[in-house]
Amino acid sequence: MARSGRASHRRWLEALTDLPTASGREGAVVTWVKLWAKKRGLAVRADSAGNLLVGPPRRSRRRPVVAVAHMDHPALVIKEHGARLTASLRGGVYPEYLDGAAVQIETATHPVRARITDFDPETQMAVLSARSREVRIGDIARWYLTPASLGVVDDRLRARACDDLAGAAAALSALHLAVGQGISHLLVLLTRAEEVGFIGAIAACELGTLPVGSRVLSIECSRSSSDAPVGGGPIVRVGDASSVFSHELTNRVTEVAKQGSIPYQRKLMAGGSCEATAFAALGYEATGLCLALDNYHNMANIDLVRAGRRRPRLVPEEISLTDFDGLVSLLLATSLELDSAHATLPKRLRDLYRTEKHVLG
């Protein structure tokens, strides 16, 4: 990949991961994507659920490959602004991280600082300390993170919302490269409300948003582990906590990575469920790709905090820029090579049988 292209991709990555967003309140991301697509002569179609399908104005007759990422991230959304200011949590953050947490309410004019003074895990409702006249129902309240804690350090991006705006940035970057090479069957679907149960992805299936015959590459940022570390390469995700994905597609993507000498990991990633489960269960050939993520949902030291050995803190999410670049390369290579890539396992098994069947004698 040319350095100029990589620099552009990283600029888009930093811009997207800094935007305010929440389930059902993805407007800032939608606006950014529409402007980005318009500048590049790409078509954007919004379905009735607000999901965005981005691609070339004229599509190929080849079976589409669709890179999917979601536009929301865990945050609070203002629900009541009267005697007290309340907000609903949309997305998975453990209650202990919210006790007294500092937040930044994104009003129409300027950010307003506040703190969470009470949180009810049963209703997922928080009480905030702010009393600003600028705050309106529907405003997003996201975690307050100091500017000094954000940005690029060595190979790490520290951002407000890698999950899943880094995935969106990778999908759009791959689309940009594909169009430049005359590839018109790669599309990008950006979904809404994933953090509250991948509602946008389900809507896309129910509404027929994806073209018939689409092969779905569902992109996520998933919690890192010793077995799936940040910096180990993009991950071909074979399944999640709910299901295993389409095995033939998963194996073909793996072969693309091998043949292209793209460093990668192949993991189950069973810490949660993702949109690939919805697409596969509702009739699409689908598999998963992800970036290993430190400080999942902005929660530092999750295991140590839950064991009572560390104080909970909300901090930037972190990914590897090398992993991000590798994911862009893998998405592009998959759009080019998916139809010619074949799983090698059947051949290896038959070769093994031919050479060793004498033992059955």
Q: Per the structure block, which two tokens stand in for 11?
A: 């600029």
Q: What is the pLDDT of residue 160?
A: 98
Peptide bond into 72 cis (omega under 30): no
CB 192 within 8 A of CB 72: yes
In this structure, what CATH number is given to the domain that contains residue 90? 2.40.30
Calculate Rg over the CA atoms of the chain.
21
Handedness of CA 196, 321, 171, 27 (dihedral sign): positive
- Name the residue among 21, 48, 51 with its Cα closest to residue 34: 51
Question: For residues 200 and 361, which has the higher predicted lDDT (pLDDT)?
Answer: 200
Q: Does 234 lie in the same domain as 119?
A: no
Domain count, the chain: 2
CB 121 within 8 A of CB 138: no
Domain boundary among 97, 130, 145: 145
pTM of the model: 0.95
Alpha carbons 4 and 46: distance in angstroms, whole number: 30
Average model confidence (pLDDT) for the chain? 95
Q: Per the structure block, which two tokens stand in for 336?
A: 């080019």
Over residues 191-203, mean pLDDT? 97
Alpha carbons 125 and 79: distance in angstroms, whole number: 9
Q: What is the pLDDT of residue 3?
A: 64
Q: Does 135 lie in the same domain as 81?
A: yes
Residues 6 or more apart in contact with residue 340 via CB below 8 angstroms: none
Task: Kindly report, residue by residue over 94-124, the tens digit of the pLDDT.
Answer: 999 999 999 999 999 999 999 999 999 999 9
Q: SS in 3 state form for 98-138?
A: CCCCEEEEECCCCEEEEEEEEEECCCCEEEECCCCCCCCCC
Over residues 1-23, mean pLDDT? 90
Task: Kindly report, residue by residue over 138-195, the tens digit of the pLDDT.
Answer: 999 999 999 999 999 999 999 999 999 999 999 999 999 999 999 999 999 999 999 9
Alpha carbons 302 and 324: distance in angstroms, whole number: 23
Q: What is the pLDDT of residue 284?
A: 96
Q: Quick check: is 19 in a domain?
A: yes
pLDDT band at residue 1, thresholds of 50, 70 and 90? low
Residue 311's Cβ-count burial label (10 Å; 0-12, 13-18, 19+) is exposed
Q: Does 80 lie in the same domain as 34?
A: no
Q: What is the pLDDT of residue 282?
A: 95
Alpha carbons 119 and 238: distance in angstroms, whole number: 36
Q: Does 35 lie in the same domain as 58?
A: yes
CA separation, residue 244 to residues 206, 268, 338 (Å): 21, 8, 20
Q: What is the pLDDT of residue 4?
A: 60
Task: Kindly report, residue by residue over 270-324, the tens digit of the pLDDT.
Answer: 988 999 999 999 999 999 999 999 999 999 999 999 999 999 999 999 999 999 9
Task: Kindly report, residue by residue over 236-264, the tens digit of the pLDDT.
Answer: 999 999 999 999 999 999 999 999 999 99
Q: Above 70 in pLDDT, residue 343?
A: no
Q: Quick check: is 284 in a domain?
A: yes
User: DSSP alpha helices (H): ranges in the chain?
Assistant: 3-16, 27-39, 162-180, 199-207, 247-259, 275-281, 302-306, 321-337, 345-356
Q: What is the pLDDT of residue 63?
A: 93
Q: Does 97 lie in the same domain as 211?
A: no
Q: Does 89 lie in the same domain as 35?
A: no
Q: Quick check: is 230 in a domain?
A: yes
Domain boundary among 145, 160, 176: 145
Q: Does 270 lie in the same domain as 138?
A: no
Residue 147's Cβ-count burial label (10 Å; 0-12, 13-18, 19+) is exposed
Task: Kindly report, residue by residue over 34-93, the tens digit of the pLDDT.
Answer: 999 999 999 999 999 999 999 999 888 889 999 999 999 999 999 988 778 999 999 999
Q: Which of 125-134, 228-237, 256-265 has the lowest mean pLDDT?
A: 125-134
Task: Kindly report, residue by residue over 207-220, the tens digit of the pLDDT.
Answer: 999 999 999 999 99
Q: How many CB atoms lie within 10 A of CB 119?
A: 21
Q: What is the pLDDT of residue 81?
A: 81
Q: Per the structure block, which two tokens stand in for 94?
A: 């453990």
Provide the residue range defining the domain that includes 274.
3-73+150-345
In this structure, what CATH number is given to the domain that contains residue 314? 3.40.630.10
